[in-house]
Amino acid sequence: MATCDHLVQILEAAGERYQRMSLGGDMEILISERGARVLGLFPATGAENLFWTPGIFDSSEAFAAFTGGSDWNMGGERIWIAPEIVYIVGDRDDFFATHQVPPAMDPGEFILSADDGTVMLSMDSMTLTSRVSGASRRMKMRRTLQLAPNPLSSLRDVDAIMQEVRYGGYVTLAHQEAIDGDSTLPSEHWIVAQVNAGGRIIIPCTPEPEISEYFSPIPPEIHAVQTGDGVPYTAVEITGRQQFKIGIKSASTTGRLAYHFPMTNGEEALIVRGFHNDPSNFYPEDPPAAPGDFGASIFVYNDGGQFGGSASFGEMECVGQTLGGTSTATQATDAFHLWTYVGTPEAIARVAFALLGVAL
């Protein structure tokens, strides 16, 4: 798990542009122009990265080999355009063998700029082609990063809840605008945070959520909704040892999910995603083996070592408003919040109950 200074050293050696952004106190994020990523989330100076990054950052030589090849996986938090089954996969019956990320999407041709606490990553023209129909759509894409205040700050008991807790948060304002091409092609922002294996993703939900299996058999306990003193939730253990992916229907969820995991110093971290979950929106991603099973707004991926090797990862994913398809809108802006809490296990349990309604 690389420190921020180490990642900066690798980026500078490669001539890559980046920006460090303070979240308050010693917490900060590291933003890479390449791929428009939040490459690192660091709770303190010299601390371990709360996001996963691969072995390409072990040395300048390894990173140079990566940038000179066709691989895309830099880790961190990224924004792509979904549906994956439209723009990235050539044959849903042979998903991984035909999985190819368009270079126009990642790394793309983003331009990084920073001003007065705001970081922007802009791309004026990106053409994506459907691998299903061959039709194309050209669009603009912009990712703006700003600080996000603590969502618990208005609670009467906030001081008690936040004892022994450090907070840092930011919001991504993702904007897509169609320029020309096939207006019927669906497109939606798809934000993915890659996290180190060893914790669990928690998703507050209805008592009987609809969960779709995207590939590989999933552990049966995922369908067992947890109850107790708090709201119902489903939990996914991120082991990095068994590859699978699930989707949860928008009508079954609240628009919040979190990754809860232990840190090496004895503290715990809770990374909470907040987004506008709209069950009236048409969410067009469907499982490879179940065409037409639409409607999922949250996805969880557990890697089995195929992409992360021995130090593997999981992904907490969600999507935004849809252009094209049944929508006549030509542009959309989505707000994706990321609220991070680090502290003692007892303190993190208080935060989880206050923000998610979940009793850890």
* Range(s) of the domain holding residue 92: 78-356
CA–CA separation, 271 and 269 (whole Å): 6
Instruction: Give the torsion through C-alpha atoms of 283, 285, 291, 294, to 10 deg.
Output: -20
Which pLDDT belongs to residue 334? Answer: 98
Contact 48, 1 (CB under 8 A): yes
- What percent of the chain stands above pLDDT 70? 98
Which residues, 6+ apart, have CB-to-CB distance to 255 below 8 Å? 274, 275, 276, 277, 297
310 or 16, higher pLDDT: 16
CA–CA separation, 215 and 270 (whole Å): 27
CA–CA separation, 74 and 49 (whole Å): 13
For residue 223, name the pLDDT band (cuts at 50, 70, 90).
confident
Tens digits of per-residue pLDDT, 105-154? 999 999 999 998 899 999 999 999 999 999 999 999 999 999 999 999 99
Q: Tokens 């920073």 belong to which residue?
A: 114
Which pLDDT belongs to residue 305? Answer: 78
* Of 255, 266, 283, nearest in space to 342 by CA: 266
What is the value of pTM for the model shown? Answer: 0.96
Domain annotation covers residue 45: no
Which pLDDT belongs to residue 310? Answer: 61
Domain annotation covers residue 288: yes
Which residues, 6+ apart, have CB-to-CB distance to 196 below 8 Å? 1, 49, 50, 51, 52, 261, 311, 313
Domain count, the chain: 1
Single-letter amino acid code for the residue at 259: Y
Contact 318, 220 (CB under 8 A): no
Which pLDDT belongs to residue 5? Answer: 96
For residue 283, name the pLDDT band (cuts at 50, 70, 90).
very high
What number is the average pLDDT over the span 200-225?
92
Domain annotation covers residue 256: yes
Domain annotation covers residue 249: yes
CA–CA separation, 67 and 14 (whole Å): 9
CA–CA separation, 62 and 67 (whole Å): 9
Domain annotation covers residue 66: no
Domain annotation covers residue 231: yes
Domain annotation covers residue 62: no
User: Cβ of 334: how many Cβ atoms within 10 Å?
Assistant: 19
For residue 256, name the pLDDT band (cuts at 50, 70, 90).
very high
CATH code where residue 183 lies: 2.70.98
CA–CA separation, 210 and 61 (whole Å): 45
Which pLDDT belongs to residue 327? Answer: 84
Q: Name the E strands within the chain.
A: 18-24, 27-32, 37-42, 77-82, 111-115, 118-129, 136-147, 165-181, 187-196, 200-204, 211-215, 233-237, 244-249, 256-262, 268-275, 296-302, 313-323, 331-343
Domain annotation covers residue 58: no
pLDDT over 70 (residue 314)? yes
CA–CA separation, 179 and 137 (whole Å): 8
306 or 304, higher pLDDT: 304
Mean pLDDT estimate for the chain:
95
Query: Which stretch of 191-195, 228-232, 307-311 has the lowest confidence by average pLDDT?
Result: 307-311
pLDDT over 80 (residue 1)? no
Tens digits of per-residue pLDDT, 187-197? 999 999 999 99
The tokens for 97 are: 């063998």
Return the bridge partners of 118, or none: 115
